Chain A
Amino acid sequence: MNVSSQAWVVVADDATIGGLLGAARPLGTSLVALVAGRREVAEAAAAAGVDRVVWLGEPADGVPVEAYGPAVGRVVAEAAPRVVVGPATDSGRVLLGAVAAATGAVVLAGASELSLDGDKVVVERAVGGGIALRRDRVVAGTAVVAVAPGGTVAGAAPVAVEEVDPGPLLALRVTDRRVTPRVGVDLGSAKTVVGVGRGLKAREDLALIEDLAAAAGGELACSRPLAEGVDWVGKERYLGISGQTITPDLYVAVGISGQIQHMVGVREATTIVAVNSDPHAPIFRECDYGIVGDLYTVVPLLAEAFRAARS
């Protein structure tokens, strides 16, 4: 299949597309946004500095963006761009799956770096859940890449929104939506983060860790099992490959073994401190300072020392 020199982004009814555009723009001679979802999202994309916006029309009440999968696959396959970048989100992956099925391409997920080698797209990504990095060159067909969608973009002179007929949609209908109260937390920009894992024996004991976080002037976070499974900490606070990625000055990991899927989310921390009762815990191979000990003894001592130092 011959491909054009265009770069496309797939937009899944969400205008936070800064990351998609940033990744796609250097890879093509022109940048096209294919928007599934509401007109306001298409209009936001049109003002985000793209050359064209192709819009699949206003969804009827209750029709979720996933219903547009076949349309997205068909439109991309007909255009045969050099690269399609889409959001690594729940609905984004559905649309990218449609592109993969329509073009035969592999969805390259977890991409950390995209570049061009001649007219071929080269993708660097983490593989094996983060144990290794690999670079691949897409030698035939369209390159299909999933990246974090990124922030909002605005301010460019808007281009026209070209509406195309989506054809038959899939039979999906949203019949109810319940909002769950959520405390907003910005772990991404926190300077200090204290993470706790399964070393914690009871939910009540979280108070200890919260006190350490307060003493350090930081945010509370956790490993995945504490947010999913036991549900002691909100899901928005777990760190790792499927949770949040943080870049603090200081990360203190308490009762966390340091499995690869967790470490991928905290590796950018300037300094990592680990507290764990097992001297062989993998986290001790990836920390700056380690204390082997029972968190129930160590944490209060640390909190006291941190508090004294910062006051």
Chain B
Amino acid sequence: MKIVVAYKWAANPQDAEVGPDGTVDWSRAKGAVSEYDPVAFELARVLADTCAGEVVGLTVGAAAIDTPLARKAALSRGLDSLVMVADDALRGADGTRIAAVLAGAVRAIGDVDVVVAGESSVDVGDRQVAMTLAAQLGWAGLNAVRAVTADGGSLVVEREVAGGVETVVAGGPVVLAATADAALPRVPGMKEILGAAKKPTQVLDLAALDVPAPADTIAPVSTARPDTGNRQGVMLDAADLPAAAAQLTAALRQSGVL
């Protein structure tokens, strides 16, 4: 079985600077394997180990996603090999285009049975790319996946639904987005980090992939800083905690919120 882990090399918005006009400056934020993707690596590895499968990492983005550090960070998480599309034409690309490039890469890898992804990316957080990828491949897509096993030619998927858990059998290839706590990702040790250097990485040429040119469907109108409510920011004296508690209680009573 060939399993692809679709992951993102992304920066945490906590490290981005937001200007007064709502423009976002990411230049000082550093990339990493996006927060909810290690769980996808783990699900893929566990699945591969139970069915003598192969795990291929896949990520697409601007040229800067391809660094020795970034390769190692992915390859030390249980992959057998890594495939990247790293092209500045993809800087700031929208989710549908990213999904289209991922789909092109999955086709180029060939004979893929399942793509596993995290729930959402740390920098965008729309929870949409994996399911758009499924549709672009013409495959089934399932969200909120907590476990997956192979059963002959089918995949048996456990997913969370309102009020419970369902078992879904997928008869064809499928894209799965894992819940954030589907598995406890192993932390790569020295052995995995050293081993990463020996694993193959293939960089695919964007132009060689069968991906339609981007359509400019959206034009920016404006940006803004979210309203954080102009909070009062009264810091109570921590040196006398009982007095602080009394003062707080009185203030809350007075404004009628307690």
Contacts and interface: CB of A to CB of B under 8 A. Distances in A.
A31 B164 CA distance: 33
A175 B222 contact: no
Given A106-B95, A109-B126, A132-B22, A170 B139 contact: yes
Interface string A93-121: 11011101110111111100000000000
Contact of B234 (A126, A231, A261, A288): A288
Nearest to B126: A109
B107 to A, nearest CB: 14
A287 B236 CA distance: 12
A164 interface: no
A267 to B, nearest CB: 6
Nearest to A308: B249
Interface string B128-153: 10111111101111111000000000
A252 to B, nearest CB: 9
- Tell me whether chain A's interface is mostly helix, strand or loop, or mixed: mixed
B73 interface: no
B189 interface: no
A309 B258 contact: yes
Contacts of B252: 250, 271, 273, 289, 309
Interface stretch (B47-55, B108-116, B167-175, B193-201): B167-175
A178 B161 CA distance: 10
A177 to B, nearest CB: 5
Question: Is the interface on chain A under 10, 10 to 19, 20 to 34, or 35 or more residues?
Answer: 35 or more
Question: Is the interface on chain B under 10, 10 to 19, 20 to 34, or 35 or more residues?
Answer: 35 or more
Interface in A176-201: 176-180, 182, 192
Given A291-B236, A304-B245, A139 B169 contact: no
Given A102-B135, A132-B23, A229-B181, A170 B124 contact: no
Contacts of A69: 134-135, 140-141
B115 to A, nearest CB: 13
A255 interface: no
Nearest to A72: B135
B256 interface: yes
A293 B241 contact: yes
15 contacts: A69-B135, A96-B131, A96-B132, A100-B96, A132-B24, A132-B226, A134-B220, A134-B221, A146-B128, A172-B171, A231-B181, A290-B233, A291-B245, A308-B249, A309-B249
Listed from nearest, the 4 A-B pairs whose CB atoms lie closest are A171-B171, A97-B131, A101-B135, A90-B143
Interface of B: 13-14, 16, 18, 22-24, 94-96, 99, 119-120, 122-128, 130-136, 138-144, 156, 159-161, 163-172, 174, 179-181, 212, 215-229, 231-236, 238, 241-242, 244-246, 248-253, 255-258
